[in-house]
Amino acid sequence: MRVLFVCLGNICRSPTAEGVLRHQLKEAGLAEVIEVASAGTGDWHVGNPPDSRTRRAAQLRGYDLSQQRAQQVSAADFERYDLILAMDNSNLGHLQAMRPAQAKAELDLFLRRFEGAVDEVPDPYYGGEQGFERVLDLIEDACRALVIELRGRL
């Protein structure tokens, strides 16, 4: 099974989700059967590592994002992945607009996996350190719910 996280730039939210889910899948013994990746709807940062603030905040919680490089989502991803999860409604709208007819991938808002108070992971790019902690909090909770869901699908 293949899961793709998508945000705008692929340097803050979706790389964090990729790193957190990979970590949790390893802990759950599912790393060999579920592939995780991330991409952005925009192309500004293609080829770049995640934002240094994102990497630092993730590192402090034990997630290593240093090997990741930003990529832009493409129509082919709708055939390659089984589940594509958008970080916010803007990302979701963009993906819906580019989704090929009869695409294989299921497309949804990531936080629908976790019954919390919000349904979007807020973009931390133009804010302070606190925003990056909030991103991690939301993503860790939603990934826990996602691991349970994915286990049930295998």
Task: List, by residue number, the catalytic residues.
Answer: 7, 13, 123
Phi, psi values for residue 6, rounded to 5°? -130, 130
Query: Cβ of residue 9: shortest distance to ligand 4NP, in angstroms?
Result: 3
Binding site residues, ligand 4NP, CB under 6 A = 7-13, 40, 44, 123, 125
When CB distances to ligand 4NP are compared, the closest residue is 9
Buried b (16+ CB within 10 A) or exposed e, 113-149: bbeeeeebbebbbeeeeebbebbbebbbbbbbebbee
Query: Cβ of residue 11: shortest distance to ligand 4NP, in angstroms?
Result: 4
Residues forming beta bridges with residue 82, ordered by sequence position: none
Task: Put residue 73 in one of left, alpha, beta given phi > 0 → left and psi -120 to 50 → alpha.
Answer: beta
Q: Which is nearer to ligand 4NP, 24 or 71 (CB)?
A: 71
Q: Which is nearer to ligand 4NP, 83 or 139 (CB)?
A: 139
Q: Which is nearer to ligand 4NP, 4 or 7 (CB)?
A: 7
